[in-house]
């Protein structure tokens, strides 16, 4: 029998949830805290689950229609209907109807389904978002989600971890999106394949929880299995607003073994932008001078209230450029209501932006902001693959909320400093 060893955060959470001394490379079967599916991935999961002929583990299941809602056509209406009917048939309490939820990952956070020490899976690749609050969370297929529906458990290969040490404090208008675009530009879209990006160092404290969620969200864009931050005072303060109890901070051991270690000084970080057609095509936004047709602010990456506040600050007293359309999509009902209460929706509207209720919308080329051939969009979303937001000849530039807002005003890729003077 082997003895316990110093563990990374991933190894520690998977050890706790499996009851085994989990080490990188091991295969373990672990107890899952929550499993989430959306309107795209849910119907197949329902079909696979029904074939098993058993009762679901109801309290662990979360159903969130978000990709094509409000429904854009008959096919998407059918998908949403199947989700609604499954929830009703099996009495699934955690079902979030249109108008009561929003983008799945933000809803999972708003309602406390993700928390420090939790093991969460979702039939959506950006489920890794919840690592921003010290959870081990990762995307799975619909058939795997169905297995969790039935048993509450799932097998995992314990990933190796890449340690990313942060120091310093970012300058104004520079945040988590800029950090993750810089990291992906350095290591590439396959630089962390099936590995965890585990963040640490004194610089973590300089990133708000929203920034950490943005970073963890895009771990998958480097091939990562997860992206995890430690739990600190900021995490605990955030969790107290969404979940009063039932979470346990999980830390890496001092002698834990990492595949490698990378270091970043946040004080040296610039506003970044990823050029088409990969998130790894990152460079300082100040070096890019491209006219745009659309600016998109929203998504599970940067649709939180903090992102809307930053964009509104940049745009205050200014107008969206005559040649640009700006679309603002709060990530959840909670965020939308906060934006209303704080006057942000009115500010965006006065500036000439279109503000909608929460939905994934154009992020995945769904609806409400699809690009025509040859059009360019600067977007706070997480992917800029060919055809991601519309026609295959359109182009998407990924950026944080400050650059999206500044570009909407300038009519071209810009940083907030370009609007001064």
Predicted confidence (pLDDT) per residue in 28-49, tens digit: 999 999 999 999 999 999 999 9
Predicted confidence (pLDDT) per residue in 181-238, tens digit: 999 999 999 999 999 999 999 999 999 999 999 999 999 999 999 999 999 999 999 9
Q: List Cα–Cα distances, 266 to 195, 227, 371, 403, in angstroms.
A: 23, 18, 34, 17
Average pLDDT of the chain?
Answer: 96
Domain ranges of the chain: 9-16+24-264, 272-419
- Distance, in Å, from the CA atom of 383 to the CA atom of 114, rounded to the nearest integer, reads 23
Q: Do domains 9-16+24-264 and 272-419 have the same CATH topology?
A: yes
Residue % of the chain over a pLDDT of 70: 99
Q: Are 299 and 380 in contact (CB under 8 A)?
A: yes
Q: Nearest-CA neighbor of 35 among 82, 92, 81, 80?
A: 92
Taking the model in full, what pTM does it have?
Answer: 0.96
Domain 272-419 has CATH 3.30.499.10: yes
Please, what sign has the CA dihedral across residues 223, 226, 230, 235?
positive
3-state DSSP percent of the chain in helix, strand and coil, to 5: 40, 20, 40
Q: What is the average per-residue pLDDT within 394-419?
A: 97
Q: Nearest-CA neighbor of 98 among 362, 383, 332?
A: 332
Predicted confidence (pLDDT) per residue in 316-373, tens digit: 999 999 999 999 999 999 999 999 999 999 999 999 999 999 999 998 998 999 999 9
Q: What is the pLDDT of residue 1?
A: 39
CATH class of the 9-16+24-264 domain in this structure: alpha beta
Torsion of CA 317, 321, 322, 326, to 10 degrees: -100
Residue matched to tokens 């209406």: 77
Q: Where residue 245 falls among pLDDT bands split at 50, 70, 90?
A: confident
């Amino acid at each position: 029998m082997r003895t316990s060893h110093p563990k990374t955060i991933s190894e520690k959470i998977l050890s706790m949830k499996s009851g085994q001394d989990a080490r990188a490379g091991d295969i373990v079967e672990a107890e899952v805290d929550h499993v989430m599916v959306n309107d795209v991935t849910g119907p197949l999961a329902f079909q696979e689950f029904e074939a098993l002929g058993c009762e679901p583990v109801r309290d662990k299941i979360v159903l969130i229609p978000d990709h094509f809602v409000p429904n854009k056509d008959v096919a998407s209406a059918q998908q949403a209907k199947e989700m609604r009917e499954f929830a009703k048939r099996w009495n699934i309490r955690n079902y979030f109807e249109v108008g009561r939820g929003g983008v799945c990952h933000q809803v999972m956070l708003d309602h406390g389904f993700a928390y420090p020490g939790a093991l969460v899976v979702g039939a959506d690749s950006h489920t890794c978002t919840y690592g921003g609050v010290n959870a081990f969370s990762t995307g799975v297929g619909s058939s795997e989600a169905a297995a969790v529906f039935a048993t509450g458990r799932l097998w995992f290969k314990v990933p190796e971890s890449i340690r990313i040490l942060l120091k310093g404090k970012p300058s104004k208008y520079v945040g988590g999106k800029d950090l993750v675009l810089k990291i992906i530009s350095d290591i590439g879209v396959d630089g962390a394949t099936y590995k965890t990006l585990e963040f640490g160092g004194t610089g973590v404290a300089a990133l708000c929880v929203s920034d950490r969620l943005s970073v963890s969200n895009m771990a998958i864009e480097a091939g990562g299995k997860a992206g995890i931050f430690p739990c600190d005072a900021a995490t605990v303060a955030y969790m107290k607003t969404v979940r009063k109890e039932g979470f346990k901070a999980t830390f890496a051991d001092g002698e834990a073994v990492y595949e490698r270690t990378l270091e970043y000084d946040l004080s040296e970080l610039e506003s970044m932008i990823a050029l088409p057609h990969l998130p790894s095509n990152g460079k300082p936004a100040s070096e890019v001078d491209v006219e745009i047709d659309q600016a998109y602010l929203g998504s599970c990456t940067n649709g939180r209230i903090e992102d809307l506040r930053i964009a509104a600050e940049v745009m205050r007293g200014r107008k969206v450029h005559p040649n640009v359309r700006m679309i603002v999509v709060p990530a959840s009902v909670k965020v939308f209501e906060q934006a209303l209460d704080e006057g942000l929706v009115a500010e965006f509207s006065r500036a000439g932006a279109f503000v909608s209720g929460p939905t994934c919308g154009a992020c995945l080329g769904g609806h409400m902001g699809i690009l025509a051939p040859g059009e360019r969009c600067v977007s706070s979303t997480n992917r800029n693959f060919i055809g991601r937001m519309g026609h295959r000849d359109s182009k998407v530039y990924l950026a944080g909320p400050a650059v999206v807002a500044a570009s909407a005003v300038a009519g071209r890729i810009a940083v907030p400093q370009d609007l001064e003077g």
